[in-house]
Structure 1
Amino acid sequence: MIRRAIAAGLALALGACATTPDVAAPARPDAKSYAVTQDAMGHVDAALARAAAGGKRVLVVFGANWCHDSTALVGWLATPRFAALVAERYELVFVNVGLPQTGDGHNLAVAGRFGLEEMKGTPALLVLTPEGEPVNLDTAASWRNAASRSEDAIFAELSALADQPAP
């Protein structure tokens, strides 16, 4: 009986030693905010109204919760550093677009309304004036590598877009 108890204890101890350590967390935060909604256009319109009243820009992030670049961008936006910038300069709206690159997209009319006619991947990030004029139409679709961008690079670009004049 004692031998069995010792053997069981030894097996547990060896088993604990054989477990692999936890993998380090990614260098970027991840979060999910791309809710499927019936009225994405209404959410953007409400953000435009708030932006006009508050003298801000609208930050529309088109993405999906399945996409690691989309969730990485949401994760950065949720950190205190980015949250302060967004609160001061933007009205933020997340628009779930599904899988536009495979033909299974939705809410693409929101992107099209502001001149973003083609979405080959996610996320896309569009900055609008309170009047609904796109500020960064030429770079809106370039955010598909958001998970690879550094925190400082993302912050610098969002800071610059907050002040960039509309074309």
Structure 2
Amino acid sequence: IDQAVKDEFQNEGYEIIPQAAGNRMYYAGPHYQFPFGKNSIGTKLLLGAISGPDTEIYLREFTPTGPDGEFLEVTYATYKPYTNFSWATGIYYKRIVSDNISLSVYFDYNNADSKYDLTYLDRFENGNPIYAPTVTDVTNWNSYSVGASLNVMLW
């Protein structure tokens, strides 16, 4: 959440409380490995789906104003993703160090056009939250990962 948005709500006496969010990705596709001596280069091209949980963001008062001294919470936004097409690719280099050990480095890329429904708080009217109409939007989602691995075969 953008710091300017947090500051704006803080000035109004509210704290933003987001739920945890994430994505699930399900892929299938070919993996190819080209060995040469103790080295190999591998690649993959995967197709599948990406999905995530429904998520809400809440506003909670800094000062309790509830009837029993509790903090009032209001839903600020609701995010409901669809299951969408996704694809991924990657490349790696592996070096066999011994009969049971290899080292590798890799680079992976994931891409999806994520479609979701979004409802958010427009304003308060006489202390009651008024929500803007739900909108459906599509955002391009990209992720990259770079890493290294140590592989040990136990037999």
Query: Which structure would you say has the larger RCO, counting Cα contacts within 8 Å and 6 or more residues apart?
Result: 1
Q: Please, what TM-score do these two structures have when normalized by structure 1?
A: 0.24
| Structure with greater helix share of residues | 1
| Structure with greater strand share of residues | 2
Larger radius of gyration: 2
